[in-house]
C-alpha cells in the first residue's frame, strides 16, 4: 500500500499490486474490443477530461451499479483520475502491439 497525492492534492491509499492488475485488465479489455488502433488516441482525449470522467462515474454510480459492481466503478474512476495510470495503459497497449507485430 502506498499513500500518494493525486493531481488535485487529494491523498489516496493505493494498493500498487491491485493498481497494476487494473491497468493490465483495462489494457486487455481495450485490446479484446479491437480498439488497439484507436486506443492511444482515446487515451489522449480522455487524459485532460479524466477528473470530469471520474466524477461523472461517481455521480452516476447508483444507476451504473445496475450494470457493474460498485468496486469496479470506483476502481475505474480512480484510473481515469490518474494520468500516470492512463500512461501505463497506453504503454501496455503499445507493448502488446509490438509483440503482436
pTM flag (> 0.85): no
**C-alpha to C-alpha distances, 48 to 26, 55, 66, 67, 89, nearest whole angstrom:** 19, 13, 28, 26, 15
Rounded to whole angstroms, the Cα distance separating 54 from 72 reads 12
Nine-digit cell string for 18: 491491485
The answer to the question of residue 1 being in a domain is no
Rounded to whole angstroms, the Cα distance separating 13 from 101 reads 37
Residue 73 scores a pLDDT above 50? yes
Confidence of residue 13 (pLDDT cuts 50, 70, 90): low
If DSSP codes are grouped into helix, strand and coil, which group holds residue 24? helix
| Residue, of 89 and 11, whose pLDDT is higher | 89
Q: How many domains does the chain have?
A: 1
The answer to the question of residue 57 being in a domain is yes
The answer to the question of residue 50 being in a domain is yes
The answer to the question of residue 2 being in a domain is no
φ and ψ of 4, to 5 deg: -135, 160
Confidence of residue 63 (pLDDT cuts 50, 70, 90): very high
| Domain extent for 40 | 8-100
Amino acid at each position: 500500500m502506498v499513500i500518494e497525492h493525486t493531481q488535485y492534492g487529494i491523498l489516496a491509499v493505493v494498493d500498487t499490486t491491485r493498481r497494476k492488475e487494473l491497468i493490465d485488465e483495462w489494457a486487455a479489455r481495450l485490446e479484446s474490443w479491437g480498439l488497439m488502433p484507436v486506443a492511444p488516441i482515446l487515451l489522449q482525449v480522455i487524459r485532460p477530461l479524466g477528473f470530469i470522467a471520474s466524477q461523472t462515474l461517481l455521480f452516476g454510480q447508483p444507476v451504473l451499479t445496475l450494470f457493474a459492481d460498485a468496486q469496479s466503478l470506483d476502481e475505474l474512476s480512480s484510473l481515469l483520475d490518474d494520468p500516470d495510470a492512463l500512461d501505463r495503459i497506453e504503454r501496455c497497449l503499445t507493448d502488446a502491439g509490438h509483440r503482436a507485430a
